[in-house]
Copies of this chain bind each other. A is one copy, B any other.
Amino acid sequence: MKKLSNASALPYYLHDFVSAFNEIFVFLHQTNAKNMKKTIFLFVMAMVCCIVKGEAQTQPSPTAKQLRWHNAEMGAVFHYDLHVFDGKRYVQSENRIHPIEDYTIFNPTQLDTDQWIKAAKTAGCKFAILTATHETGFGLWQSDVNPYCLKAVKWRDGKGDIVRDFVNSCHKYGLMPGIYVGIRWNSLLGIHNFRTEGEGEFAKNRQDWYRHYCERMVKELCTRYGDWFLIWFDGGADDPHGIGPNVEPIVSKYQPNCLFYHNVNKADFRWGGSETGTVGYPCWSSFPTPCSHHKGIETSPSWLELLKHGDKDGLYWLPAMADFPFRGINGRHEWFWEPDDNNNILPLDSLMSIYEKSVGRNATLIMGLTPDPSGLLPEDDVKRLSEWGNAIVQTWGCPIAKTAGNKNKLYLRLPSVNSVKGYRLKEDITKGERIRSYKIEAKVGNRWQVIAEGLSVGHQRLETIAPVSTQELRLTVTQSVDTPSILEFSVY
């Protein structure tokens, strides 16, 4: 009995069938069932389940946690690790294999996670994520599983817990806390792409041990700090049937309301195909597979395009995430603080463009922020975040007028003639992404003039347009699946 593995070659609607078949295979393998009648029964049951599920999914819609994802719109990820303190430029490939020689360099004497979170909040972030561990394997908490953690350093007499501080600050300022966990690389333990090195029994034991080590670490993080909004596995959490740890069941068990990102089979959102803070347009939340890094699809030449755009016919709700590092100009692209990067913070116009090309395209935006060795987010970043937040409110905070309705055409009359420079659309995604194309017209003189056209709307579509003087506008859904349910049509 051979495991069916070339799922990618099959049409999308058969993926569930393949997945169920594989689960049966694993079940049989584990139980050594040899009763063929039982096998056939399970096989047929799986097919029935798949057909039922497939039908229900022709118009996918978000889960409760995915709705929170959409509504959050913007968040920050804070990267912090030992090498922030080494005074050198960070080279990821080297960091993965060179353990930091002296971990006692970790000494953020002014650490203040309140300052981090307040700064993120001024930009408009609704959630914040912390790298509890990154690729060194060093943990920013008081772990009882990973000794290479804040227990080991002299800072705060070995009693510091930045994960705890971070969560407390998030709660204090009303942001949802998320956690980023590195298990794919571990320079201290010599883990390389999930893999322990060596041969024979030694390697097998070590691989088994590392798998349990990660699983226990994840359980610790999932049970100590209250509810997580999101858990992010650095570089993915591998194939649960492969060599790596199987963390998804742990997250599901202890954090049922937490967004899971991601292993080869499952993700609650998808990477948006670049680290530019933008996604493509259109950008659908639906996707052909239950994970953006699904084995069957990752090798496809059109994979990046699919990540950027989604697939309006996809059976799975897998909304896009657009991430970018805040220090990312002049050839720099830095997730961690490094010396002399203060001049490489993105300028305000770039940030506004990023906002529109992510939050305005139905994606959730995650910005990378970089606390420095003192333990603070540098003042220049804090200032830019505040400027950005102000500019977003100024541009998109107060519509001239807005309307809503469950129909293909909506009219919007302004109190007076205004120069319209942008619009917002939102549909009720609990019913799926029904809008497939739209146009917006403005009455200029006595003629309706098309001022914008588009495809996906989903949670939100924002677009700046060439300014037009008008008092009357109309939205026409030119193509839809079922009746569109428009939550907002507003102009700015």
Contact = CB atoms under 8 A, between A and B. Distances in A.
A158 interface: yes
A101 B147 CA distance: 12
A98 B209 contact: yes
Contacts of A297: none
A482 interface: no
Interface in A176-210: 188-190, 192, 196-199, 201-203, 205-206, 209
A97 B201 contact: yes
Contact of A98 (B98, B145, B196, B205): B205
B189 A190 contact: yes
Centre residue among A149, A159, A197, A216 by max chain B CB count within 10 A: A197
Category for how many chain A residues contact B: 20 to 34
Contacts of A158: 151, 158-159
A189 B189 contact: yes
A103 interface: yes
Interface in A123-172: 144-145, 147-149, 151-152, 154, 158-159
A319 interface: no
A101 B190 contact: no
Interface in A305-361: none
Q: How many copies does the complex hold?
A: 2
Nearest to A100: B209
Contact of A198 (B159, B188, B190, B212): B190
B148 A147 contact: yes
Contacts of A484: none
Interface in A199-230: 199, 201-203, 205-206, 209, 212-213, 216
B197 A192 contact: no
A147 B213 CA distance: 16
A148 B205 CA distance: 19
A159 B157 CA distance: 10
A190 B203 CA distance: 9
A263 to B, nearest CB: 23
A189 B186 CA distance: 11
Interface string A469-482: 00000000000000
Centre residue among A147, A192, A206 by max chain B CB count within 10 A: A147
A104 interface: yes
Nearest to A203: B197
Contacts of A144: 102-104, 152, 154
Contacts of A149: 147, 152
A151 B101 CA distance: 18
Nearest to A147: B152
Contacts of A196: 190, 197
A464 to B, nearest CB: 48
Interface in A63-111: 97-99, 101-104
A476 to B, nearest CB: 59
Interface of A: 97-99, 101-104, 144-145, 147-149, 151-152, 154, 158-159, 188-190, 192, 196-199, 201-203, 205-206, 209, 212-213, 216
20 contacts: A97-B201, A97-B205, A98-B209, A101-B212, A101-B216, A102-B144, A102-B145, A103-B144, A104-B144, A144-B152, A147-B151, A147-B152, A151-B151, A158-B158, A188-B189, A189-B189, A190-B198, A190-B206, A197-B197, A197-B203
Given A190-B197, A196-B197, A197-B197, 16 more contacts: A97-B206, A101-B209, A101-B212, A102-B145, A102-B216, A103-B144, A103-B147, A147-B148, A151-B152, A151-B158, A158-B158, A189-B190, A190-B196, A190-B206, A197-B203, A198-B198
The 3 closest A-B pairs by CB, nearest first: A197-B198, A197-B197, A147-B152
